[in-house]
Amino acid sequence: MFLVLYKWHVKPGMDEQFREAWRRGTRAITQKYKSYGSRLCRDPDGAFVGAAEWPSEAIWQSAMAQSMEYDDAEARRMFLDAIVDGGEPVMTLTILDDLLQRPA
């Protein structure tokens, strides 16, 4: 498995719009490109950090080659309208062992 970290700074007052757009975009990317989905986190400085999990680096690279395009234009507009900067991968990691437990 493969993990990619992304980071965004969001305009003041746009947190909820960003989160909704991120959820919609992540669902669309998961469906279209067969990722395993993502987690959205917040760092101590207030920036949003996404941790997206993929079956392999090759599948992620294929999605990147297509610019991660998806069919929800409104979600994309909301997303771009809310961010100040970010969205490029800040770190990529190959998962060696995975002991994360997800609640039922």
Tens of pLDDT, residues 48-83? 999 999 999 999 999 999 999 999 999 999 999 999
Render pLDDT for 5-30 as a digit per residue (tens, 0 to 9).
999 999 999 999 999 999 999 999 99
Mean pLDDT for 37-50 is 97
Sheet holding 37-42, edge to edge: 37-42, 48-54, 2-10, 83-94
What 3-state class would DSSP assign to 44?
Answer: coil
Can you tell me the distance from the alpha carbon of 48 to that of 19, in angstroms, rounded to the nearest whole number? 9
**10: containing domain:** 2-94
Cα separation, 9 vs 18, whole angstroms: 10
CATH number of 87's domain: 3.30.70.100
Residues in Cβ contact with 6 at an 8 Å cutoff, skipping those fewer than 6 apart: 49, 50, 52, 86, 87, 88, 89, 90
User: How many distinct structural domains can be found in the chain?
Assistant: 1
Query: How many residues in total does the chain contain?
Result: 104
Residue 88 belongs to a domain: yes
